[in-house]
Amino acid sequence: RYDADINYRRWRDLKDYEEYLAGDPVLFLWLRALAVYPLPTWEITLAIGKALAPKGVVVNYDNLLKLSRIPWLQTGRLDPRLREALLENLDPEAEKLARHAVKEELEAVFNNTRNGHANLEAQTNLAIQQFAINPDDRAGQEAILYLLDQGIITKKQEAELNQVVGRHTGTTGSVAIKGGGTQKKHIGGDDLQTFLAKSLPGAPDRPLPPPRPFFTPEFWWSAGLTTVFLALLGIMRSLS
């Protein structure tokens, strides 16, 4: 059944994955849990699968084969909207187990990359996972605030943290879906900035970036080149 029309699936919406893994909710739980990390690798996949053993997940050849046919697990590129949909109703206990597994994998990477960009990236991803595991931990909040202030957290990472905070502070309700019916969805809740402001009331407001001066060295360089070009153009016209 899993071999049928694999190449003809759109692999875009959550429904496509629900249909592909229909009848295997535990494997679908494993797939959902993989979305806790934006850059899926087979090392992460295996680590999360093993961590989800208490939820009934079995890491074996057949299950890995089924997962391996999913395009974004082959390419390592998970669409942000699909990732958000996968995380939306992920079992909270399974999410914590998965994030702890990712955290351990990232710590191993951190220990092997003491310097350079890879080290900074590992530190940032570690801070995000730690915050997501326990958003109420003050040390984790301060780490995220620092990364925000330094401009290290990207827009995609901030969007992920917004979703984490929204699920943490919001309520679960039923919303209508296209085609009829309803599904559970987190409603309301704070965004990351609001949550941190409430949780760390003594922290200074994030400063706005200073305005970029208009008359920069680049401006004068460009103006000089323009002047030279116009002068040469005038000379050429006078000679013609």
| pLDDT tens digits, 193-221 | 999 999 998 765 554 444 445 445 554 44
Determine what percent of the chain falls in helix, strand and coil, rounding each to the nearest 5.
Answer: 65, 5, 30
Residue with the larger pLDDT of the pair 222 and 30: 30
More confidently predicted of 112 and 163? 163
Closest among 100, 170, 91 to 132, alpha carbons compared: 100
The pTM assigned to this predicted structure is 0.74
Judge whether residue 144 has pLDDT over 70: yes
- Phi then psi for residue 92, to 5 deg, are -55, -40
Decide if pLDDT at 5 tops 70.
Answer: no
For residue 108, pLDDT over 50 is answered with yes
Mean pLDDT on 164-178: 75
**Cα-flanking dihedrals φ and ψ of residue 20, to 5°?**
-65, -40
| Short-list 140, 196, 142, CA closest to 165 | 196
Give me the pLDDT at residue 212, please: 44
Return the pLDDT at 111: 75
- Mean pLDDT across the chain, nearest whole number? 81
Burial 181-202 (b: 16+ CB within 10 A, else e): eeeeebeebbbbeebbeebeee
Q: What mean pLDDT do residues 89-97 have?
A: 94
Distance CA 86, CA 45 (A): 15
